[in-house]
Structure formats: C-alpha cells, structure tokens
C-alpha cells in the first residue's frame, strides 16, 4: 500500500471512529419494534437497513466490546484470536445428518 493510500485509510478509519454511536442503555419499560441480537456482520447490516425506516425503533444488542484499529488488518487476525475477549473459543460441530462431498 502506498504512503498516500495508507494515510487515506488511517484518516477514513479515524473519521468513522469519531462518528461511532456510543453505547446506550435502554430505559426501563422502553419498547422497540425490532430487537436485533448481535452487531456482527449480519446483525449490523439488518439493524442498519431497518434504521432506514424512520418510524421504526430498533434495539441492537452486542455482547462484544468495541472494535480496535488492529481488527482492520487481516494479517493480525491470528494474533487477535489469542485474546479470549475476541475469540470466544466456540467450537462448531457438523450436524449428524451432514454428508461431506
């Protein structure tokens, strides 16, 4: 990546971070039209699309903490996976009726 592209990337990243929505705690008895569990790839996309409807009130619940700058660097993923706050070490198993081809 050239120096200019790197600087642009860092600048965009900082701008995005400054716009980040801060954590909010729902008020007691507050009601929502949609509750989206997890702000991962799928949940964040669904919540973002729903938020385009102005009449709709959405609660997005995420268990993890805010991303860090290093999470944007793919080669650092193996190192980050050693952190138990990031890698929850969930083991996936194949369903018993699955056939590998």
Burial 21-40 (b: 16+ CB within 10 A, else e): eeeeeeeeeeeeeeebeebe
**Toward ligand FAD, which CB reaches closer, 26 or 64?**
64
Q: What are phi and psi of 18, to 5 degrees?
A: -65, -25
Question: Which one of residues 41, 54, 85, 97 is an interface residue with ligand FAD (CB under 6 A)?
Answer: 41
Q: Shortest Cβ contact with ligand FAD: which residue?
A: 40
The answer to whether 31 touches 58, Cβ cutoff 8 Å, is no
Which span (2-10, 21-29, 48-56, 60-68) binds ligand FAD, by CB under 6 A?
60-68
Residues at the interface with ligand FAD (CB under 6 A): 37-43, 61-64, 77
């Amino acid at each position: 990546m050239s120096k200019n592209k790197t600087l642009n990337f860092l600048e965009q990243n900082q701008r995005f971070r400054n716009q980040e929505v801060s954590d909010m705690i729902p008020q007691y008895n507050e009601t929502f039209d949609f509750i989206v569990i997890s702000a991962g790839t799928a949940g964040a996309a669904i919540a973002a699309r729903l938020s385009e409807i102005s009449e709709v009130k959405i609660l997005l619940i995420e268990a993890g903490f805010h991303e860090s700058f290093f999470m944007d660097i793919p080669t650092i993923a193996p190192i980050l996976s050693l952190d138990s706050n990031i890698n929850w070490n969930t083991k996936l198993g194949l369903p018993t009726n699955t056939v590998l081809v």
